[in-house]
A and B are shown apart, each in its own frame.
Chain A
Amino acid sequence: SLSAEKPHVPFFFCGTKTEALHWSARPRSRPAPTEEARSTASVASSCYSTSLQSTTTRVSFLSPSRSLPRALPHTSRREVSFNVQDSEDFTERVINSELPVLVDFHAQWCGPCKILGPRLEKAVAKQKGRVAMAKVDIDDHTDLAIEYGVSAVPTVIAMRGGDVVDHFVGIKDDDELDSFVSKVIGQ
């Protein structure tokens, strides 16, 4: 269906886009897998089950190698998005997520963010669990936002295996978001 809804706001984002986000693929430091861990990890899901918390959607385990089969955690309830609580939470649920994660940096005072938020949720929901979405309020998590080079909001970064693989600033319409999300998942 035609996404005829163009933003009626005279601006697409809040703040100034100072320079291009200077982290193209920004690896966040995370523990490097040891040789031992690599060998045990390649044995199906046994080491994963110990860290798997099936009661929540949170999955925290190392994904040292991309060649590992993606063992989707078998949680039935999957919220479309979650609010990042603190930097440990971000590390666990975003950096160490085995799913690709869209991080929506937004602010309470940002009008365009309120428009983009629901659209993003819709685009993510369409993917039926193939991608997760983390929401970061930049006033609550200023250091995190600064670390990821956020200047204007909304800024959405896509992370896969702890690396930034894509990003955009400002509002996008439904079609643009669908293709952005598909690209991130790798379809």
Chain B
Amino acid sequence: MAALYGGRHRWKRINCLHIFSRKLTGKYDYDLLVIGGGSGGLACSKEAAQLGQKVAVLDYVEPSAKGTKWGLGGTCVNVGCIPKKLMHQAALLGTAVKDAKKYGWQIPDTISHDWPTMAEAVQNHVKSLNWGHRVQLQDKKVKYMNLKGSLVDEHTVRGLSKAGKETVLTAKNIVIATGGRPKYPTNIPGAAEHGITSDDIFWLKKSPGKTLVVGASYVALECAGFLKGIGLDTTVMVRSIALRGFDQQMASLVTDYMEAHGTRFAWKSVPNRVDKLSSGALQVTWTDTQTGSEHKDTFDSVLWAVGRAPETKALGLDKLGVQLNKETGKIVVGPDESTSVPNIYAFGDIGEGRPELTPTAIKAGKLLAHRLAGQSTELMNYDNVPTTVFTPLEYSCVGLSEEEAEKRHGKDGIEIYHAFYKPLEFTVAERDASQCYIKVVCEQGGNGKILGLHFTGPNAGEVAQGFAMGFQCGATYSHLIQTVGIHPTCAEEVVKVHITKRSGLDATVTGC
């Protein structure tokens, strides 16, 4: 029941059990209202509050299809980066324990992993982060509300509590940072009833057992990676290629390593149906699209990692005319994170064309807060963003893939330096280093500006972070080889690359 507006009168409107008054004198409840309490939303709201704005953040987690839910902090904290990295570490430790024998440690022949112990420890850490974020909001004087937000108009948001109680809030500026959720396949019978997604895997109390991971994104490969690493029978089903969007040579090194270490890959295959057997196991039928043949196998769990969809449906964006990308469903945003509606901004995973990464969301959020507070005009720089895939053999990169560099500069416009190296730690452990590799893509001529840097190996993320700074500063190949290496490390091999792909020479480097 809409209230009648009139001039400067204050009208009271009764809405469910909640009474509020809408002031039409140009004053709003808040300077800034942020919908979404994830990496981006929290950073933006805290920054804005520090700049003196009156800020509120709404965070709400719609339970997954399996009923999993979590606290404040968004995807990264609860069902992404944090639990992923911890479980990845659990898997790496398993490998380390086996290596330890070669280094003299007296370790029993068979070691086993207990999922509940790991899961509880990981979940406890995540819960401590939920609490930490809550305290931070309190300290920074950001009003937090556990409500599901939707837009009423460009200055009004309706918040719905779990119990169904409505609260209406007004704000000068509204920021949407609701992120995304994993997609379920729509055309596979049994997919939603019997399968889980990354929303669920980190919160399982019992081991997922023999698992089929459908998908070949970094989510799929990282999950498959740690599941295999803790000793579970793991299969990855890939429709076409792995790590779409990443350098494909590097992607195959990653999957080669996983295959060599026991992960089964069903290449060029698509699942047809998932049935639950009387034993409780899941039977999956799939087609090998190359041969047309059908296959069947039973698993304890099926993990769908077939993409993520933006959280826009329940936001009421269509009502306001906020433009969405037709294909992805994400919000179309300008370089300043603005949407097609003035006073409404969007950033983080929900923004079309934006990297789905926490550090970019955080930085963009802080810069947006500064702009909204009128303190700056600086825009977020989305170039030169480094990233790492935490598969059993980690892969980190900054800049262009070889394919992209070739597309932009032509094959003759680039020079690629590369090297296969062996981490010193692998020697005594008698580990295979065939996929440990470095590739530096540079501009041809001049000092050879670095266009892209790629690294597979242990601690790839740690290795690449420093090089990302060099990249940001416009480092050239000349800078790279002038840098003295730290010995003995894997990272030093980056500053020692000298064999070009063009030369055709063997790129295997020997130790000292």
Interface residues of A (CB under 8 A from B): 14-16, 18-19, 107-110, 138-139, 142, 146, 150-151, 153
The reply to whether B135 and A139 contact each other, CB–CB distance below 8 Å, is: no
The reply to whether A107 and B139 contact each other, CB–CB distance below 8 Å, is: no
| B residues 355-401 in Cβ contact with A at 8 Å | none
Tell me the complex Cα distance, A16–B130, Å: 13
The reply to whether B138 and A146 contact each other, CB–CB distance below 8 Å, is: yes
What residues on A are CB-neighbors of B139 within 8 Å?
A: 18-19, 151
| A145 shortest CB reach to chain B, Å | 8
The reply to whether B131 and A138 contact each other, CB–CB distance below 8 Å, is: yes
The reply to whether B135 and A151 contact each other, CB–CB distance below 8 Å, is: yes
| B144 shortest CB reach to chain A, Å | 9
Tell me the complex Cα distance, A138–B123, Å: 16
The reply to whether B128 and A16 contact each other, CB–CB distance below 8 Å, is: no
What residues on B are CB-neighbors of A15 within 8 Å?
A: 128, 131-132, 135
Tell me the complex Cα distance, A139–B126, Å: 12
What residues on B are CB-neighbors of A150 within 8 Å?
A: 135
The reply to whether B124 and A108 contact each other, CB–CB distance below 8 Å, is: yes
Q: Is B98 an interface residue (CB 8 A)?
A: no
What residues on A are CB-neighbors of B85 within 8 Å?
A: none
What residues on B are CB-neighbors of A110 within 8 Å?
A: 128
Can you sample 25 A-B contacts with CB below 8 Å? A15-B128, A15-B135, A16-B135, A18-B135, A18-B136, A18-B139, A19-B139, A107-B127, A107-B131, A108-B124, A109-B125, A109-B127, A109-B128, A110-B128, A138-B131, A139-B71, A139-B130, A139-B131, A142-B131, A142-B134, A146-B135, A146-B138, A150-B135, A151-B135, A153-B131
What residues on B are CB-neighbors of A146 within 8 Å?
A: 134-135, 138
Tell me the complex Cα distance, A110–B121, Å: 10
What residues on B are CB-neighbors of A139 within 8 Å?
A: 71, 127, 130-131
Task: Give the top 4 A-B pairs by smallest Cβ distance, nearest first.
Answer: A109-B124, A109-B127, A151-B135, A109-B128
What residues on B are CB-neighbors of A153 within 8 Å?
A: 131
Partner of B128, one of A18, A19, A107, A142: A107
Tell me the complex Cα distance, A49–B128, Å: 44
Most A Cβ at <10 Å: residue of B71, B135, B138: B135
Interface residue count on the B side (C-beta < 8 Å)? 14
Question: Mask for B133-147, Cβ within 8 A of A = 1, else 0?
Answer: 011101100000000
| A13 shortest CB reach to chain B, Å | 11
**Extra contacts besides A15-B128, A109-B124 (15): CB < 8 Å:** A14-B128, A15-B131, A16-B132, A16-B135, A18-B136, A107-B127, A109-B127, A110-B128, A138-B131, A139-B131, A142-B131, A146-B134, A146-B138, A151-B139, A153-B131
| B residues 121-171 in Cβ contact with A at 8 Å | 123-125, 127-128, 130-132, 134-136, 138-139
Tell me the complex Cα distance, A182–B503, Å: 81
Tell me the complex Cα distance, A158–B139, Å: 22
When C-beta atoms are compared, the residue in chain A nearest to B136 turns out to be A18
| A62 shortest CB reach to chain B, Å | 30
When C-beta atoms are compared, the residue in chain A nearest to B138 turns out to be A146
When C-beta atoms are compared, the residue in chain B nearest to A150 turns out to be B135
Most A Cβ at <10 Å: residue of B71, B123, B125, B127: B127
Tell me the complex Cα distance, A108–B131, Å: 12
What residues on A are CB-neighbors of B130 within 8 Å?
A: 139
When C-beta atoms are compared, the residue in chain A nearest to B72 turns out to be A142
When C-beta atoms are compared, the residue in chain A nearest to B126 turns out to be A109
Tell me the complex Cα distance, A139–B72, Å: 11
When C-beta atoms are compared, the residue in chain A nearest to B127 turns out to be A109
| A116 shortest CB reach to chain B, Å | 16
Tell me the complex Cα distance, A183–B139, Å: 30
Tell me the complex Cα distance, A141–B306, Å: 37
What residues on A are CB-neighbors of B135 within 8 Å?
A: 15-16, 18, 146, 150-151
| A95 shortest CB reach to chain B, Å | 21
What residues on A are CB-neighbors of B128 within 8 Å?
A: 14-15, 107, 109-110
What residues on A are CB-neighbors of B134 within 8 Å?
A: 142, 146
Tell me the complex Cα distance, A169–B372, Å: 38
What residues on B are CB-neighbors of A19 within 8 Å?
A: 139
When C-beta atoms are compared, the residue in chain A nearest to B135 turns out to be A151
Tell me the complex Cα distance, A110–B131, Å: 11
Tell me the complex Cα distance, A19–B141, Å: 13
When C-beta atoms are compared, the residue in chain B nearest to A19 turns out to be B139
What residues on B are CB-neighbors of A14 within 8 Å?
A: 128
| A139 shortest CB reach to chain B, Å | 6
What residues on B are CB-neighbors of A108 within 8 Å?
A: 124, 127
| A161 shortest CB reach to chain B, Å | 26
When C-beta atoms are compared, the residue in chain B nearest to A109 turns out to be B124
What residues on A are CB-neighbors of B131 within 8 Å?
A: 15, 107, 138-139, 142, 153
Most A Cβ at <10 Å: residue of B124, B127, B131: B131
| B451 shortest CB reach to chain A, Å | 41
Tell me the complex Cα distance, A138–B125, Å: 14
Tell me the complex Cα distance, A139–B138, Å: 15
When C-beta atoms are compared, the residue in chain A nearest to B139 turns out to be A18
Tell me the complex Cα distance, A15–B135, Å: 9
What residues on A are CB-neighbors of B124 within 8 Å?
A: 108-109
Tell me the complex Cα distance, A65–B486, Å: 72
| A19 shortest CB reach to chain B, Å | 7
Tell me the complex Cα distance, A138–B134, Å: 11
What residues on B are CB-neighbors of A109 within 8 Å?
A: 123-125, 127-128
| B177 shortest CB reach to chain A, Å | 21
| B123 shortest CB reach to chain A, Å | 8
Most B Cβ at <10 Å: residue of A110, A151, A153: A151
Tell me the complex Cα distance, A15–B132, Å: 7
